[in-house]
Structure 1
Amino acid sequence: MHEGQDESLFEVFWAVARRLRHGTRVALEPWNVTPSQSRAIAVLSRHGEMRLSALAEHLRIAPRSATEVVDDLQERGLVSRSPDPADRRATLVTLTEQGAATATAIHRARAEEGERLFAALDPEDRAQLSRILRILRD
């Protein structure tokens, strides 16, 4: 019997996901950011300035948790807060110049980690896997 033949597709998929998460965590060590902080930086980089409540929705976390993430990022000089001119009760969050540079560096490190993982596949297999994963995602 071939090694791992008794593993289900589900188990193999999660093993690969764990490997990718671990590799990404190691790749992000130079910036000393948590996964939640990294995701917040990516959302702000992609979408620009947004309300704290909208950031929480994008991250699929409670507003209180988003506040904690933003507090940590603000303390490190990566984001800034300002009152929303349309609603004084709301707060806008935006990346600082340092935050934007960090976002670029993190994006590059994550892409390189993905390339390292998927380098074991030939171009045809990569294309097939990408097609399949997009179907499952959507």
Structure 2
Amino acid sequence: MADKELAELLHLVGRRLRHGYVARLVPLGLNPGQARALRVLADAEGPLRMVRLADELRIVPRSLTPVVDALEAAGLARREVDPANRRSTLVVITPRGRELSGRARDARRQAGEELFAVLAEAEREQLRGLLAQVDAQFR
């Protein structure tokens, strides 16, 4: 392992985390993109314009359309005309979407706990701090 560069190790660990997360999302009928969109909607103070939701997810608005279509088809979110700007569309999370968002959040937490169980609590805290430090420079 010592011969692997840091970026490669981070990529491999990220893939393992994603696989564990996806395996837990499948029974919920969600993919990671849908789960992320639900999380952003659940954390928002109210409905979000499509453009704002795409911005929060760091994707282009046209990539958001199939995500919202799937959430709408599953009864997890709905589109509404923005009364403040009739040309804009709001995305509103439904009660079922809010509930599933919580379950998806639990799935992500469980996948992380399983993956990082090999580390002592102090090591996990140190890793969390280091990764937060790296992430902070890009915000």
Same fold at TM > 0.5: yes
Partners of 1:13 and 1:81 in 2: how far apart? 37
Q: Does 1:35 align with 2:68?
A: no
Partners of 1:67 and 1:8 in 2: how far apart? 37
Partner of residue 64, structure 1: 62
How far did 1:73 drift? 0.6
Partners of 2:112 and 2:9 in 1: how far apart? 17
How far did 1:86 drift? 0.5
Partner of residue 43, structure 2: 46
How far did 1:104 drift? 0.8
TM-score, length-scaled by structure 2: 0.92
The one-letter code matched in structure 2 to 1:114 is G
Partner of residue 80, structure 1: 78
Partner of residue 108, structure 1: 106
Partners of 1:131 and 1:55 in 2: how far apart? 28
The one-letter code matched in structure 1 to 2:67 is V
Q: Which is greater in Rg?
A: 1
- 3-state SS of paired residue (2:118): coil
Which of residues 66, 70, 89 is equivalent to 1:91?
Answer: 89
Which residues of structure 2 form unaligned runs of 5+? none
How far did 1:111 drift? 0.8
**Number of aligned positions between the proteins:** 135
Give the ranges of 4+ consecutive aligned residues of structure 1 lying more than 3 Å apart after TM superposition.
none
TM-score, length-scaled by structure 1: 0.93
> Quick one: percent identity of the two aligned structures?
43
Partners of 1:5 and 1:56 in 2: how far apart? 39
